[in-house]
């Protein structure tokens, strides 16, 4: 991918992405977790001398057809704008079964954000909790736990020691701390509960209905980069995890690599994301498709200030890595449609071209075909500014896309209107 030069605001956008990742790694290497109710089990998976086998895929080398999405079958309405004042608002997650989304509003007088529920029908919000976090781009962010009717999030713990896992219910009760001293601020969800890495990265704990349980233990030697090494990406960024919707496997990512863990089979393997053209690629974040076949990686191949970020799709049935067909220099995390083969992503335009045309900083929104990497630009008549960093989500029923659509003062980052936009989606 060609490297681009950026205007002042474009550089600011990349800088914010870098700062967000650095924030996630501030507590990297925190120690033991408070799992008083968890059984003391031996690690299920032990890596001998750091040796991790390469991943093998069940249909590798076969002519198995990829899932195909007809991108031209989708049509999109003009956005319906919900004005939310002048304080930046991030779109975090969809609340299943309701026409509502989870959002985070930046606190104006101190570092942190207010986690809220936004009713898309009325434009009103309900405040759930405040957190000392910043939910930009690939940062850890609050998620909705339908079984608990609560938002779950991790924030910097007391005395800056590790991370605290908290949740806030929609019934108005005060937010509760579930656990302290977590190793990673990244939380993963599946149908059985909330899962996060604990105890110095040695265990994966589950929390449900105020009870904690040791869901799996595994040795993470070899997964975390050596702070003293010259590995690209350094030691910034905590270990991230994403659980497949069917619960069969977890993808674990750090600057040192991409790993797949199958707890039931007690197996761990490494997927080589590097290529001849990019021998030092590493992943900033990952998202599973709804059918658990594809994983979308947001990756890069450099140290800060990140000349580019890129989207690639792994077919976990064949092992084929599909590159998103776009020349945009900076992409943001993917949101999947419920069909399991179509994804939506926002990218930042090249700034030299925009400046030559006298146009302000802008982003572009695309839908993509997971099986081929084909992309189609959508909403190209809409000005998108900070949408990628502040969030965009595709609804679980596939009928709506909700995204941050703030208005700024020209090319200045100063927000004059912190809007959320709602687009109706139809497919033939």
User: E strands along 338-399, which residues?
Assistant: 342-348, 363-369, 375-378, 392-394
Q: Specify if 238 maps to a domain.
A: yes
Q: Check the CA dihedral 323-327-329-332 and report its sign.
A: negative
Q: Give the H or E element holding residue 113.
A: strand 113-119
- At residue 186, the 3 state secondary structure works out as coil
Q: What is the pLDDT of residue 213?
A: 59
Reported as a single tens digit per residue, the pLDDT across 29-61 is 332 233 333 344 444 555 554 577 889 988 765
Q: Specify if 389 maps to a domain.
A: yes
The total domain count for the chain is 1
Q: What is the CB neighbour count within 10 angstroms for residue 195?
A: 22
Which range marks the domain in which residue 91 is found? Answer: 8-33+41-47+69-427
Q: Specify if 60 maps to a domain.
A: no
CATH number of the domain that residue 393 is part of: 2.130.10.10
Q: Give the H or E element holding residue 8.
A: helix 8-24
Q: What is the CA radius of gyration of the chain?
A: 21
Reported as a single tens digit per residue, the pLDDT across 321-358 is 999 998 788 888 899 999 999 999 999 876 556 556 65
| Locus of tokens 């992409």 | 331
199/179 Cα distance (integer angstroms): 11
Q: Specify if 161 maps to a domain.
A: yes
| Locus of tokens 């809007």 | 419
Q: Specify if 57 maps to a domain.
A: no
Q: Specify if 2 maps to a domain.
A: no
Mean pLDDT by 10 residues, the chain (428 residues): 37 38 33 35 50 81 66 96 94 91 91 95 96 81 88 88 87 88 77 62 56 58 56 54 86 83 81 70 88 92 68 93 86 93 88 59 90 95 90 95 90 83 94
Q: Specify if 53 maps to a domain.
A: no
Q: What is the largest CA-CA distance in the chain?
A: 63
Q: What is the pLDDT of residue 9?
A: 39
CB 55, CB 319: distance < 8 Å: yes
């Amino acid at each position: 991918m060609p490297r681009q030069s950026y205007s002042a605001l474009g550089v600011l956008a990349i800088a914010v992405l870098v700062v967000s990742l650095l924030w996630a790694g501030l507590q990297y290497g925190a120690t033991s977790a408070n799992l008083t109710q968890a059984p003391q089990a031996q690690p299920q998976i032990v890596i001998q001398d750091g040796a991790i086998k390469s991943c093998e895929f069940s249909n590798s080398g076969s002519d198995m057809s990829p899932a195909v999405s007809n991108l031209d079958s989708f049509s999109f309405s003009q956005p319906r704008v919900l004005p939310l004042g002048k304080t930046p608002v991030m779109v975090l997650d969809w609340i299943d079964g309701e026409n509502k989304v989870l959002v985070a509003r930046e606190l104006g007088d101190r570092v942190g954000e207010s986690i809220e529920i936004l009713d898309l029908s009325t434009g009103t919000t309900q405040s759930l909790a405040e957190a000392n976090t910043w939910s930009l781009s690939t940062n850890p962010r609050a998620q909705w736990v339908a079984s608990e009717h609560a938002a779950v999030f991790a924030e910097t713990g007391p005395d800056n020691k590790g991370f605290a896992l908290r949740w806030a219910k929609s019934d108005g009760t005060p937010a509760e701390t579930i656990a302290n001293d977590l190793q990673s601020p990244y939380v993963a969800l599946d149908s059985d509960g909330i899962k996060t890495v604990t105890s110095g990265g040695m265990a994966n704990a589950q929390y449900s209905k105020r009870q904690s349980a040791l869901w799996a233990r595994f040795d993470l030697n070899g997964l975390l980069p050596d702070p003293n090494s010259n590995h690209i990406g350094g030691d910034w960024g905590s270990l991230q995890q994403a659980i497949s919707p069917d619960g069969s496997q977890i993808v674990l990512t750090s600057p040192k690599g991409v790993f797949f863990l199958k707890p039931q089979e007690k197996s761990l393997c490494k997927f080589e994301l590097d290529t001849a053209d990019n021998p030092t690629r590493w992943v900033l974040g990952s998202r599973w498709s709804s059918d658990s076949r594809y994983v979308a990686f947001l990756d890069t191949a450099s140290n800060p200030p990140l000349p580019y970020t890129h989207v690639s799709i792994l077919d976990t049935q064949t092992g084929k890595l599909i590159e998103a067909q776009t020349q945009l220099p900076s992409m943001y995390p993917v949101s999947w449609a419920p069909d399991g083969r179509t994804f939506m992503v926002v990218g930042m335009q090249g700034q030299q071209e925009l400046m030559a045309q006298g146009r302000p900083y802008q982003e572009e929104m695309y839908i993509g075909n997971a099986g081929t990497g084909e992309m189609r630009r959508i909403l190209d008549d809409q000005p998108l500014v900070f949408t990628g960093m502040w969030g965009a989500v595709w609804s679980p029923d596939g009928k709506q896309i909700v995204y941050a659509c703030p208005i700024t003062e020209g090319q200045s980052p100063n927000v004059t209107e912190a809007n959320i936009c709602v687009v109706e989606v139809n497919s033939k």
